[in-house]
Amino acid sequence: MAEQSYPQRKIEMESAKELKRKKRMKLLVYALAFAIFQTIVILIFSFTVMRIKNPKFRVGSITVEELTVTAPNSSSFNIILNAQVSVKNTNFGHFKFDNTTISFDYGGVGVGDAFVAKGRSKARSTKKMNVTVEMNSNNIPNNSSLQSEIESGFLALTCHSKLSGKVQLMKLIKKKKSAEMKCAMLVNLVTKAVQDIKCQ
Ligand SMILES: *[C@@H]1O[C@H](CO)[C@@H](O)[C@H](O)[C@H]1NC(C)=O
Ligand SMILES: *[C@@H]1O[C@H](CO)[C@@H](O)[C@H](O)[C@H]1NC(C)=O
Ligand SMILES: *[C@@H]1O[C@H](CO)[C@@H](O)[C@H](O)[C@H]1NC(C)=O
Ligand SMILES: *[C@@H]1O[C@H](CO)[C@@H](O)[C@H](O)[C@H]1NC(C)=O
Ligand SMILES: *[C@@H]1O[C@H](CO)[C@@H](O)[C@H](O)[C@H]1NC(C)=O
Picking from 23-27, 63-67, 141-145, which range would have the lowest pLDDT averaged per residue? 141-145
Ligand closest to CA 128: 3
- CATH number, domain of 174, equals 2.60.40
pLDDT at 39: 92
d(C-alpha 132, C-alpha 13), whole Å: 87
- Asked if residue 114 and residue 27 are part of one domain, the reply reads no
Our count of domains for the chain comes to 2
- Going by alpha carbons, the residue nearest to atom 1 of ligand 5 is 143
pTM score? 0.76
- Asked if residue 155 and residue 138 are part of one domain, the reply reads yes
> Which residues are 160's β-sheet partners?
103, 182
- Going by alpha carbons, the residue nearest to atom 9 of ligand 5 is 143
The CA R_g of the chain, rounded to the nearest whole Å, is: 33
- Asked if residue 62 and residue 36 are part of one domain, the reply reads no
- Ligand 1 midpoint to CA 73 (Å): 6
Q: Dihedrals φ, ψ of 121, to 5°?
A: -105, 120
Picking from 68-72, 155-159, 195-199, which range would have the lowest pLDDT averaged per residue? 68-72
Ligand 5, residue 145: give the atom nearest the CA. 13
3 pLDDT higher than 60: no
- Asked if residue 166 and residue 190 are part of one domain, the reply reads yes
Contacts for 172 with CB less than 8 Å, ≥ 6 apart: none
- Asked if residue 61 and residue 128 are part of one domain, the reply reads yes
- Work out the mean pLDDT of the chain and round it to a whole number: 90
Q: Is 108 left (phi over 0), alpha (psi -120 to 50) or beta?
A: left
pLDDT at 6: 67
- Asked if residue 43 and residue 60 are part of one domain, the reply reads no
pLDDT at 8: 73
- Going by alpha carbons, the residue nearest to atom 13 of ligand 1 is 73
| SS3 (DSSP) at 106 | strand
Work out the pLDDT band at 23, boundaries 50, 70, 90. very high
Question: What Cα–Cα distance (Å) separates residue 88 from each residue in 33, 77, 101, 178, 181?
Answer: 38, 33, 17, 12, 12
